[in-house]
Amino acid sequence: MTIDPTLESTPYVETQKICAHEAEEEILFSMHSICRINYCQPMKCSDDVWEISLILTSDNDPELQAITGAIRDQVNDVPGWHRVASLFLILGKFKEVHEIYDNLLQLQQTNDIGEITNLLQFHGIAKLGEGNPDDSIKLLKEAIKRGQPDLPVTQAILDSVYVNMGMSYFQKVGYPKAISFYEKALKSKIESLPNSRHFVGKLYNNISVVYCTMGQQTKADSIFKKAEERLGFLPDKHYELTAIQANVGNMSFDEGKPYERISLYEKSIESAKKFLSENHSDFIMYYNNIGLLYESVGDYQSALSFTKEALHIAETTLPVYYPDIACSYNSIGKVYSSLDQHQLALCYHEKALECHEKSNSSNQLHLAVCFNHIGSAHIEIGEFSKALSFLNKALEIKQKFLPENHSNLPEMYTNVGLVYFYMHEYQQANSFYEKAIEIQQKSHFENHPALATTYNSIGCSYRTMKDYPKALSYFEKMLEIQKSSLKSDHPNFVTSYSNIALLYSKMDDYSNAISHCEKENDILKNSLPPNCFQMAIFYYNYSLVYLGKKDYSQAMSLSKEALDNLQKTGNENQLLNTLIHNTLAHIYLELVDYPNAVSCLKRYVNFNKNLSLEIILIWLQLTTTLDVHIAR
C-alpha cells in the first residue's frame, strides 16, 4: 500500500511502537478509508494468490468526492432495496435487479402509491436491460397509471418513468415516441428543479442520440452541446462522461473524421476502465465501435482484436441471443469482409441473423442490418440473385421505419445498385447510385467517406458503359474526398488509383495511367506482404496498361508477376486466374508465339477442372482464334 504522509487528512496510525507485538508492524486505518487499486498481479509462489497494490486516498480527495457525489446523486432519490438495485443497474447486473424487483413485487403489501410506482418502474428497467422493451413498456405504463393520481407527490418518480419509456421506445425504433417522453421528463424536471444538472444533462444526451439515429445530425449536435454544458461538473474520469465522449465520436464520424473519433473512443475506454469492471456490458459498445473505426481506416488486425473482445464480453455477461451479441457478430463479419474472407464474413452475419430471430426482438432495423450484411457478402462471393433477395428485404424494412432521406438509406441503394451492375443492368444500377448520392449530399458533410464509396460505384458503372469523361469526374470526386479525410497511405487509395489508372488506359493516356499505378504500388508495398491476393490483382491491372500501350515485354512481366503472386497465396481464384491467362495468351498472340499461347490456355484448363459455362465459352473463343493463326 502506498501512503502519502504529507497529507494531513489521510487517516492512519502506525501502531508498531505501542502494540504488544512490535514484530507485526501493524498500521491502523479509519473504518471509512478508501483505497485506489493501483495494480493486481499473481504472486510468484502461487497463481492462486494475488498481490494487490493499493493507494490510500485522503478524506478530501476532490476527484473521489466528485465521483461519490455523482453516484449519490443517481441513487439518492430512492430508498432501501431500490438503492441497491440502482447500484446493480450502474454495474450492468440486470439479472440481480430483475430478481430484487420480482421479490419486492411479490412481497408488496403497502398502499404507498409512490412505492408501488417505483417498484413497477424498476422492474420495467430490468426488463429493458434484459432486452425486452415490450414488457418494459407494459410495466412502465402501469407505473404511470398508478402514479398520476398522486401528483405532485409522485412527480419525481414519474419523470424517471418517462425517461425509461423513452429508452424503451428507442429500442423498439419508435423514435418520435422516444423523443416525446424524453421531452416530457425534461420539461417537468426543468420546471421543478432547474439546477438538476445531472438528470437534465443525461436527458439532453439521450435526445441527441435519437436525433443522430434518425439522421438529423444538425439538430443532434445542437442538443448534444446542451448535454455537455449540464454534465461539465463531472470529473474527467467519471464513467458517465465516457458515454458523452462516445457521443462526440458519433458526431465526428458523421463529419467524416475517423481518426478524431478513434482518439475520442480511446479516451472513453481509458476512463471507463478506471471505473467499471473489465467485463462490464458498456465495453461491448465501446469495443465494437472502435473496432469498426479501425476497420474504416484499414487497421484490420486492431479491428478484429476489439470486435472479438466485444463478442467475448457479450457472450460472458449477456443472455443467449441478446441483440448486443448479434451486433458483435456483425462487426466481426464486417472486418473479415474487408480482409476478403467473405465466406467467413457470411458465417458471422448469418449467426447475427439467427441471434436476432431467436431473440424475439421487436427492432426490425436490427434484421435489416443483418440482411444488408448478408446481401453484401453474397455480392462478393458472386451469388447475385441471393444478394438481391437479402438486400431487397433490408431496403423494405428501412424504407418502412426510416424517413425517406435518412442517412442509412444510401448504403442500401448503393449495394442494390452494385448487384445490378454485376448483372450488367447498368442503367438500373445508376438509378440506385443517384438516389444514394442525392441523400448523401443532403444529409452528410461534403467529405464523408460514404459519399466517396458511391462516387466510386457510379464511376465504375459509367466506365463500363464507356462514358469515360463522366466516369473520370466521379473517380476524381472520390479521390478528392479521400485526400481530405484519410492519411496518404490509407488502403482505400488503392481502389481510387487503380480505377483512375485503368480509365486513363482506356482513354489511351498511358502516361497518366502509369503514374496512378505507381502511386497505387507505393501504398500496397507499404501496407501488404509481398505475396498476397491484392498484389496479384494490382500486377494484373498494371499489365493491362502496358498491353494497351503495346509494350508486350513489360505487360508479360507484370502478368507473370500477377500469376506468381496468386499461386504463392494459395488462392485459386477462378476469375482472376482466367483473366491472367487470357492476357498472357493475348500477349503471346501479339508476339506471334502461337504454341505458347495455346499452351498457356491448355495449362489453365488442366489446372481448373470446374469451369463455369461463361469461362468455357471464353476459352473456346480464344483457342479457336489461336488455331486459325497457327493454321495460317
The answer for residues whose C-beta is within 8 angstroms of residue 324's C-beta and 6 or more apart is 281, 284, 285, 314, 318
Task: Determine, yes or no, domain membership for 615.
Answer: yes
Largest CA distance in the chain: 114
CA dihedral 588, 589, 591, 593 (to 10 degrees): 70
Give the pLDDT score at 437. Answer: 93
Is the Cα torsion angle 121, 123, 128, 132 positive or negative in sign? Answer: negative
Using CA atoms, how far apart are residues 142 and 156, in angstroms rounded to an integer?
16
Between 505 and 271, residue with greater pLDDT: 505
User: What's the pLDDT tens digit per position in 310-366?
Assistant: 999 999 887 778 888 999 999 999 999 988 899 999 999 999 999 988 876 667 888
Question: Which residue bears the cell 488462392?
Answer: 571
CA proximity to 207, closest of 232, 235, 234, 185: 185
In 3-state terms, what secondary structure has residue 208?
A: helix
Give the pLDDT score at 204. Answer: 87
Backbone angles phi, psi at 581, to 5 degrees: -70, -35
Task: Determine, yes or no, domain membership for 490.
Answer: no
Percent of the chain, pLDDT > 90? 31
Query: Is 90 exceeded by the pLDDT of residue 534?
Result: no
Which segment of 21-35, 280-294, 402-416, 532-546 scores lowest on mean pLDDT?
Answer: 21-35
The answer for residues whose C-beta is within 8 angstroms of residue 444's C-beta and 6 or more apart is 254, 256, 407, 450, 451
CA dihedral 311, 314, 316, 321 (to 10 degrees): -100
Question: Which residue bears the cell 492476357?
Answer: 583
C-alpha cell at 116: 408501488
Q: What is the mean pLDDT of residues 109-120?
A: 76
Between 54 and 497, residue with greater pLDDT: 497
Give the pLDDT score at 233. Answer: 60
| Cα 446 to the center of its chain, rounded Å | 21
Q: Where are the alpha helices (DSSP H) in 231-322?
A: 239-254, 258-273, 282-296, 300-317
CA proximity to 478, closest of 91, 462, 86, 466: 462
Query: Is 50 exceeded by the pLDDT of residue 258?
Result: yes
Using CA atoms, how far apart are residues 372 and 259, in angstroms rounded to an integer?
26
Give the pLDDT score at 165. Answer: 95
Query: Is 60 exceeded by the pLDDT of residue 254?
Result: no
The CA angle 573-578-583, to the nearest 5 degrees, is 130
Task: Determine, yes or no, domain membership for 626.
Answer: yes
Question: Which residue bears the cell 402514479?
Answer: 147
Give the pLDDT score at 126. Answer: 79
| Cα 127 to the center of its chain, rounded Å | 26
Give the pLDDT score at 232. Answer: 64
In 3-state terms, what secondary structure has residue 12?
A: strand
Which segment of 3-7, 186-190, 395-399, 517-521 scores lowest on mean pLDDT?
Answer: 3-7
Domain boundary among 402, 422, 454: 402
State the total domains in the chain: 3
Q: What is the mean pLDDT of residues 473-488?
A: 89
CATH of the domain at 286: 1.25.40.10
Between 232 and 98, residue with greater pLDDT: 98
pTM: 0.65
79 band by pLDDT with thresholds 50, 70 and 90: low
CA dihedral 23, 25, 31, 32 (to 10 degrees): -160
Give the pLDDT score at 371. Answer: 96
Give the pLDDT score at 613. Answer: 45
Question: Is the previous residue joined to 194 through a cis bond, with omega within 30 degrees of 0?
Answer: no
100 band by pLDDT with thresholds 50, 70 and 90: confident
Task: Determine, yes or no, domain membership for 281.
Answer: yes
Give the pLDDT score at 222. Answer: 83
Q: What is the mean pLDDT of residues 422-429?
A: 94
Type of residue numbered 454: T
Percent of the chain, pLDDT > 70? 80
Query: Is 90 exceeded by the pLDDT of residue 551?
Result: yes
Between 18 and 370, residue with greater pLDDT: 370
Give the pLDDT score at 526. Answer: 81
Query: Is 70 exceeded by the pLDDT of residue 444?
Result: no
Q: What is the mean pLDDT of residues 457-464?
A: 94
Query: Is 50 exceeded by the pLDDT of residue 257?
Result: yes
212 band by pLDDT with thresholds 50, 70 and 90: confident
Q: At what angle do helices 323-338 and 282-296 cross, to 10 degrees?
A: 20
Range of the domain at 32: 12-60
C-alpha cell at 516: 496512378
Query: Is 70 exceeded by the pLDDT of residue 455?
Result: yes
Task: Determine, yes or no, domain membership for 68.
Answer: no
Between 253 and 316, residue with greater pLDDT: 316
Which segment of 42-51, 75-84, 508-517 scores lowest on mean pLDDT?
Answer: 75-84
Query: Is 60 exceeded by the pLDDT of residue 596?
Result: yes
Question: Which residue bears the cell 423498439?
Answer: 172
Task: Determine, yes or no, domain membership for 614.
Answer: yes
Which segment, 21-35, 221-235, 271-285, 597-611, is predicted with the most confidence on average?
Answer: 271-285
Task: Determine, yes or no, domain membership for 155.
Answer: no
Task: Determine, yes or no, domain membership for 358.
Answer: yes
Q: What is the mean pLDDT of residues 86-101?
A: 75
The CA angle 64-70-75, to the nearest 5 degrees, is 125
User: What's the pLDDT tens digit per position in 599-630?
Assistant: 777 765 655 555 554 455 555 555 555 444 44
In 3-state terms, what secondary structure has residue 214?
A: coil
User: What's the pLDDT tens digit per position in 42-66?
Assistant: 777 766 788 888 887 776 776 666 6
Give the pLDDT score at 71. Answer: 64
Give the pLDDT score at 24. Answer: 67
Average pLDDT, the chain: 81
253 band by pLDDT with thresholds 50, 70 and 90: very low
C-alpha cell at 576: 482472376
Which segment of 413-422, 444-453, 481-490 scores lowest on mean pLDDT?
Answer: 444-453
Give the pLDDT score at 491. Answer: 77
- What is the gyration radius of the CA atoms in the chain, in angstroms? 31
The CA angle 356-362-363, to the nearest 5 degrees, is 70
Give the pLDDT score at 252. Answer: 44
Between 112 and 518, residue with greater pLDDT: 518
Q: What is the mean pLDDT of residues 513-535?
A: 85
Q: What is the mean pLDDT of residues 281-293?
A: 88
User: What's the pLDDT tens digit per position in 124-159?
Assistant: 887 887 777 888 999 999 999 988 888 887 888 899
Q: Residue 87: which H helix or E strand, with range?
A: helix 80-90
Question: Which residue bears the cell 441527441?
Answer: 208
DSSP string, 491-506: THHHHHHHHHHHHHHH
Give the pLDDT score at 631. Answer: 42
Using CA atoms, how far apart are residues 307 and 336, in angstroms rounded to an integer?
11
Using CA atoms, how far apart are residues 265 and 376, in angstroms rounded to an integer?
27
Query: Is 70 exceeded by the pLDDT of residue 8?
Result: no
Contact 217, 443 (CB under 8 A): yes
